Amino acid sequence: MSSNCQIRVFPSAAELALSLSQLLVNESKGVDNFRIGLSGGSLVQLLSRELPKTAGLNTEGWKVVMCDERLVPFSDPESTYGEYQRQLIPLGLLSESQFVIIDPSLPVEDAAADYEKKLRELFPGNDLPNFDLLILGIGPDGHTASLFPGHPLLEVTDKIVAPISDSPKPPPQRVTLTLPVINAAKTVVFVTTGEGKAAVLKRILQEVSDPLPAARVCPVNGKLLWFLDESAARDLTCPVEKHSVL
């Protein structure tokens, strides 16, 4: 495990959420045009619940990208941006104009190219976008974003956004940030809760052979944080930091 990796374990998902919110305050403080990549799933509910009551959080200059997105209409419950549009944006912390979104009306190859163009505009002059912060999740199979075990996209190095039309998890058509972009971020945080993730976390964090997609995340010049609750971390025998914020 890399020396720039920290595993933080919290007694509960509620305490994890409080600490994650404080991390957002700390990471964005004093940063003009804070550029953050978000994932979907339970993170949408967590941020929608915690951010409105987080003291000291200033989201005025934020630009928000989806780490991956499903090629479905925003009205579809499978749309990650659609869920933020329904749950977080109405709270007034972020406006629709602060989100960088795909065009779901395009074929998947064109949607990826269009999204890459938008990211290039967000990071002018950079060969690789260097996000200030990426928040990722993991699946029970060890996938992260839409990078799945054994999939050719894991080896892509010449694109910052890639299309996928054969996702093993529906819906099949998606666009995703590639590993080089993820590993160029200044800070990457994995947020994982629940005993259902315990076995795969042990494999990701403690086994070196045949690394799963999430295990390939190792920021080149940044830091990697794991925010876990005790249920998710129960099988780990490697060193961890125990945190409590309540």
Q: Give me the DSSP letters along the chain.
A: --TTEEEEEESSHHHHHHHHHHHHHHHHTT-TT-EEEE--THHHHHHHHHGGG-TT---TT-EEEESEEESS-TTSTT-HHHHHHHHTGGGTSS-GGGEE---TTS-HHHHHHHHHHHHHHHSTT-SS---SEEEE---TTS-BTTB-TT-GGGG--S-SEEEES--SSSSS-EEEE-HHHHTT-SEEEEEE-SGGGHHHHHHHHH--SS--GGGG---SSSEEEEEEETTTTTT--S--EE----
Q: Check which CATH number belongs to the domain holding 198 and give it.
A: 3.40.50.1360
Inform me whether the pLDDT recorded for 246 exceeds 90: no
Q: How far apart are CA 107 and CA 174, in angstroms?
A: 10
Q: How far apart are CA 111 and CA 115, in angstroms?
A: 6
Higher pLDDT, 1 or 14: 14
The pLDDT tens digits of the residues spanning 93-126 come to: 999 999 999 999 999 999 999 999 999 999 999 8
Q: Residue 16 in contact with residue 229, Cβ under 8 Å?
A: yes
The pLDDT tens digits of the residues spanning 37-61 come to: 999 999 999 999 999 999 999 999 9
Inform me whether the pLDDT recorded for 3 exceeds 80: no
pLDDT of residue 239: 87
Residue 79 tokens read as: 């749309």
pLDDT of residue 226: 97
pLDDT of residue 209: 77
pLDDT of residue 207: 83
Number of domains in the chain: 1
pLDDT of residue 4: 75
pLDDT of residue 2: 53
Mean pLDDT over residues 217-241, rounded?
94
Closest by Cα among 223, 147, 149, 232 to 191? 232
The pLDDT tens digits of the residues spanning 169-183 come to: 999 999 999 999 999
- Please give the residue range of the domain that contains residue 148: 5-242
Percent of the chain's residues with pLDDT above 90: 90
Q: How far apart, in Å, are the Cα atoms of 21 and each of 3, 59, 107?
A: 24, 12, 36
Enter the pTM of the model. 0.95
The pLDDT tens digits of the residues spanning 151-171 come to: 999 999 999 999 999 999 999
